[in-house]
Amino acid sequence: MENLFAILGLGFFLGIKHALEPDHVVAVSTIVGKNKSPWRSSFLGVFWGIGHTLTLLIIFLLLYFTKTSIPGTWEMSFELGVGIMLVYLGTSPFFPKKKNGRRNRKAITSNLFIKSMVIGQIHGLAGSAAMTLLVVSVVDSLKDSLIYIGTFGIGTVVGMLLFTFVLSFPFFFIVNKHQVNTLLIRGTAILSICYGIYYIYMVGFVEGLFT
């Protein structure tokens, strides 16, 4: 039992560490600035963690019951999807949608939460192969595997919640300075584009998906 608690504790802290990986941080940074409240922004991290964890659980169960594994080409393709998503998230602030005067703040915030969850799901899909191997190596039963993934998921939620809460403050303090706010949003967007291109290059040419 003590060994299981130690493993779950490790999973929790690995979840926090995993949430703060560069591609996760860059992706979420592109939408944090669109919320005007640190508390609402922090919930973007919660929804990212929920989407990430649900995807990991679903993929793990599919692989467990079918007794299969994710082929290397598929795994790299999922990773490629992360790079493409980063480029897309980076370009979207430069092509804003036309504003609808009747559209209220609640609807905008809800859309951001859904978007954050989808981002988390894409990241979860990309990391599902590695997560499956990790779970199989540290626990023996299906029950313990699900508990471990759940604990890991809680760690990712906590890690991303703290990150989005802290990151929201620069945007919050310049909310009435439109030009500075726009500059900061576009700065994170350019970072996302550059990192996305780098990510695509690494997956496609260094890891060999394209070659």
pLDDT value for 34: 77
The pLDDT of residue 137: 82
The per-residue pLDDT for 5 is: 83
pLDDT of 107 reads 72
Residues 163, 28 contacting (CB under 8 angstroms)? yes
Q: What is the pLDDT of residue 138?
A: 80
Burial of 58 (0-12, 13-18, 19+ CB in 10 A): middle
Q: Which helix (H) or strand (E) holds 116?
A: helix 105-138
pLDDT value at position 76? Answer: 95
**How distant, in Å, are the alpha carbons of 96, 136, 143 from that of 140?**
49, 7, 9
- Average pLDDT over all residues of the chain: 88
> What pLDDT score does 46 carry?
94
* Nearest in space to 14 (alpha carbons), one of 56, 65, 58: 56
Question: So what's the pLDDT on residue 103?
Answer: 54
In Å, what is the CA distance from 150 to each residue of 61, 136, 153, 163? 13, 14, 5, 20
Q: Say what the pLDDT of residue 182 is.
A: 84
Q: How far is the C-alpha of 136 from the C-alpha of 142, rounded, in Å?
A: 9
Q: Give every residue of the chain whose pLDDT is below 50, as ranges.
A: none
The secondary structure of 91-111 as a DSSP string is HGGGSPPPP-TT--HHHHHHH
